[in-house]
Amino acid sequence: MRDAATENLNMAHSENHLENSLYASIMETIDLGIVILDVKTRELIFKNKFAVEIFQQTQNLLDYRNLLSLLLTDYGSKPEKEIFGKNYTLRFKNRLLGYTPYMIADNFIWIIIRDITERSRLESIAEAVNSMDNISFVFSGIRHELGNPINSIKMTLSVLKRNLSEYSPETVEKYVDRAMTEISRVEFLLRALKSFSIFEKPEIQDVQIDDFLTRFIALVRNDLHQSGIEISKIVGLNVTNISADPRLLHQVLLNLITNASDALEDQKNKKITIRVIK
């Protein structure tokens, strides 16, 4: 009986040792930085290999005081519930780090650190590609909107030139007015391009939303039509003006329309409706 009990005890110790070794191996080899701080003794009690690699060449950072000041600047000045369990980012040398601190058993702070440099780079590339797609979408519409009035002006002036000696002053004035109307359309587009800058601060102003959407739809309708998509707007009777930066509102709508058109790619009845309600 005693031998069996001893054997069972040895097996239990062996299993515990194997389990602890497995956990230790995982914590050392996982591609996450792990540091554990003891807030009572104010010591760094654990750092795994990946954490050491992240802070390489700055080994003096790997102590309790420096890690706390680097990663948990608000510790002690804010309630713990506002600090722990939340995601943070830190630009450290040539890396972008993401990390999450946890309070364990009242006196241990576990900090899980991730190198998100590559992910951030890929997200930036995707954002840039999306911006380029949007710019292409915009300028395709602008090309169409500029082409229409210019062709109309060219045709009007050509007819006027051929018949100038025969037309009455009233008829000539009619053709000139028609050309001036088309020139006004071109001027509007040029003003919109001149004022467009992603680096300018938002300028909030009253925007007549129905007119704004009419002009916006005119810019994107041609490209959407080529994809077999119909676009329309419904503006509530009680909606007239809104407060917005027209350029930013244009960009937001453009992003939404681009995403909506992508989502409709495999659909049969392709229709986008912009609805404004209060």
CB 102 within 8 A of CB 85: yes
Domain boundary among 146, 175, 196: 196
Model confidence band, residue 5 (pLDDT cutoffs 50, 70, 90): very low
Answer whether residue 9 is part of any domain: no
Regarding whether 37 and 111 lie in a shared domain, the answer is yes
Distances (CA, A) of 133 to 17, 83, 162, 233, 257: 57, 39, 43, 23, 12
Domain boundary among 115, 134, 168: 115
Q: What H or E segment, with its residue span, contains residue 175?
A: helix 169-195
**Residue-number span of the structural domain to which 269 is assigned:** 199-278
214 and 269 within one domain:
yes
- For residues 243 and 167, state if they share a domain: no
Average pLDDT of 195-213?
Answer: 75
Provide the residue type at 163 as one letter: N
Q: How far is CA 138 from CA 128, 134, 213, 219, in A?
A: 15, 6, 14, 7
Domain count, the chain: 3
For residue 235, the cross-strand partners are 276
In a domain, 146, yes or no: yes
- Does residue 1 belong to any structural domain of this protein? no
Q: Which of 181, 196, 211 is the C-terminal boundary of a domain?
A: 196
Confidence of residue 197 (pLDDT cuts 50, 70, 90): low
Q: How far apart are CA 102 and CA 145, in angstroms?
A: 56
CA distance 43 to 108: 10
Q: Domain with 278 in it: what CATH number? A: 3.30.565.10
pLDDT at 204: 86
277 and 255 in one domain? Answer: yes
Q: What values do phi and psi take at 113, rounded to 5?
A: -115, 135
Residue 28 pLDDT grade (very low, low, confident, very high; cuts 50, 70, 90):
low
- 171 falls within a domain: yes
Q: Which helix H or strand E contains 271, and what residues bound it?
A: strand 271-276
Model-level pTM?
A: 0.40
Q: 90 and 146 share a domain?
A: no
Query: Looking at the domain assignment, is residue 17 inside a domain?
Result: no
**Is residue 37 a part of any domain in this protein?**
yes
Same domain, 140 and 185: yes
130: CATH: 1.10.287.130
Q: Are residues 133 and 151 in the same domain?
A: yes
In a domain, 233, yes or no: yes
64 and 132 housed in the same domain: no
∠ CA(111), CA(113), CA(117), 5° rounding?
Answer: 160
Judged against a pLDDT cut of 50, whether residue 9 lies above it is answered with: no
What average pLDDT does the structure give for the chain? Answer: 79
- Quick one: average pLDDT of 54-69? 75
CATH number (domain holding residue 107): 3.30.450.20
